Amino acid sequence: MDEYVYVDGKKLKRGYTTGTCATAATVAALYMILNQEIEEKITVQTASGVEVTMDIQNPSYELEKATAAVEKDGGDDADATHGLLIYSTVTLLPDQTDIEIDGGIGVGRVTEEGLANPVGMAAINPTPRRMIEKSVREIIGDNCGAHVLIWVPGGEERAKLTYNPRLGIVGGISILGTTGIVNPMSEDSWKAAITVELTMLYNQGYRSVVLAPGNYGEDFTTTVLGIDKSRIVNMSNFVGHVLKEVQRIGFTKVLIVGHMGKLVKVASGIFSTHSKDADARMETLIANLALMGAPLDLLEKVDGCTTTEAAGEAIKEYGYEGVYQILADKIKFRSERLLKYRKPEVHIDVVLFASKEGYLASTKPLDMIKEEWR
């Protein structure tokens, strides 16, 4: 595997998941017990079968117990866990054959139903857990057991920068990784975290979900609509992807709540709303205002705006606030049409708001939406 990858013309370094680091630290600790000598480097296979060699930090060993750490290297990815030391303390259990894997300080605990691990278990996901167990078994054989404790100093504080608080994982980070490799600037891990959150809600029995494209949408949903935060999933800019995931997982009812500046793009069929992918905010406003018969000077004013908030001032001045209802209805139409030929059928409602004006429009009366989603 190449150490580097090219993204948007830039040469960027790949990294390793917390799962790969935990596996390497565990293997190093085992070899120190068996060989009774310090290990400075260790080579392991990632979950995708790639061999990697990693430096060992702070090694120590006794007769049947050893500890080793590997520094988490996220490469050039924007990785919240980059730089943390992932420790493994391994204790041999000669009188049993089980391999026990648990999390210590800095590794989160599951407190909500619906995740890959049951409530109470350390947040060491199935693939890293399997890789650790496989590595241990290959080294110690079938006639011995071992206790493996994964711990991460500073993990509890760093976890606040991850999705863990939203998922009900408390006390630290998760030990993650389905391939063992971190691809820089990849949106895959972000999308995967959203899927985990959606799946957890579904497994808890919910068949309806609120989607917000950011913190503003979440705040409006909780403070104005009075909907509990646990029902809201932040879809970021991945509107189309998340809608398809919602349908694939099995939800049948969606409420999209978002700022005009983000969701107006969806009214034009733009389902990846990051500015690097597309921006037709003013064009969408102008087209719909023109269809309403708005005067040319209003259209020219909107065309000269750089934000939908500024455009909103002109729209209000000319009395064309009715455009927001048209846009809300189009967002609903476009979103439902995206999912039209798949099952299950998903019913979608939309609420639009602005920072200054607050509520703008919705596909159902706001009181009805509040009642439905309580």
Residue-wise pLDDT for 321-357, tens only, equals 999 999 999 999 999 999 999 999 999 999 999 988 9
The CATH number of residue 25's host domain is: 3.30.2110.10
Report CA torsion sign: 171, 174, 175, 181: negative
In a shared domain, residues 122 and 264: no
pLDDT at 78: 54
> Could you write out the DSSP letters of every residue in 50-78?
-EEEEE-EEEEE-SSEEEEEEE---TTS-
- Rg over CA atoms, the chain: 25
In a shared domain, residues 140 and 205: no
In a shared domain, residues 127 and 250: no
Q: Is the pLDDT of residue 120 over 70?
A: yes
Residue at a domain's end among 182, 215, 244? 182
- Using DSSP, state whether 220 is helix, strand or coil: helix
pLDDT at 114: 78
Q: Which is higher by pLDDT, 108 or 51?
A: 108
Report strand pairing: 99-103 vs 145-151: parallel
Q: Which domain holds residue 173?
A: 4-182
In a shared domain, residues 167 and 197: no
What is the rounded distance in angstroms from the CA atom of residue 361 to the CA atom of residue 347?
Answer: 18
Mean pLDDT score of the chain, rounded to an integer? Answer: 90
Q: Is the pLDDT of residue 4 over 50?
A: no
What is the rounded distance in angstroms from the CA atom of residue 129 to the CA atom of residue 23?
Answer: 9
- Half-sphere exposure of residue 250, counting CA atoms within 13 Å on the CB side? 9
pLDDT at 17: 86
- Using DSSP, state whether 310 is helix, strand or coil: helix
**Confidence band (pLDDT; 50, 70, 90) for 11?**
very low
Q: Is the pLDDT of residue 1 over 70?
A: no
Asked if 185 and 12 touch (Cβ cutoff 8 Å), the reply is yes
- Half-sphere exposure of residue 218, counting CA atoms within 13 Å on the CB side? 12
The residue with tokens 């349908």 is: 247
In a shared domain, residues 217 and 150: no
In a shared domain, residues 167 and 198: no
In a shared domain, residues 228 and 167: no
In a shared domain, residues 226 and 242: yes
> Could you write out the DSSP letters of every residue in 183-201?
-TT-SHHHHHHHHHHHHHH
Q: Is the pLDDT of residue 71 over 90?
A: yes
Report CA torsion sign: 107, 112, 116, 117: positive
Mean pLDDT (whole number) for 12-39: 89
What is the distance between the terminal CA atoms of the chain, rounded to a whole angstrom? 50
For the entire predicted model, the pTM comes to 0.70
Kindly give, in sequence order, each residue whose CB lies less than 8 Å from that of residue 180, ignoring residues fewer than 6 positions away. 16, 17, 19, 20, 23, 45, 46, 47, 48, 50, 52, 131
Asked if 285 and 308 touch (Cβ cutoff 8 Å), the reply is yes
In a shared domain, residues 164 and 192: no
Residue at a domain's end among 182, 214, 234? 182
Residue at a domain's end among 166, 182, 198? 182
What is the rounded distance in angstroms from the CA atom of residue 218 to the CA atom of residue 200?
Answer: 18
Per residue in 126-185, pLDDT (tens digit) is: 999 999 999 999 999 999 999 999 999 999 999 998 878 878 899 999 998 877 656 544
- Half-sphere exposure of residue 97, counting CA atoms within 13 Å on the CB side? 4
pLDDT at 182: 61
In a shared domain, residues 58 and 126: yes
In a shared domain, residues 156 and 193: no
In a shared domain, residues 91 and 49: yes
Looking at the structure of the chain, the number of domains it has is 2
Among the listed residues 295, 292, 293, the one whose alpha carbon sits nearest the alpha carbon of residue 314: 295
Bond before 184 cis per omega within 30 degrees = no
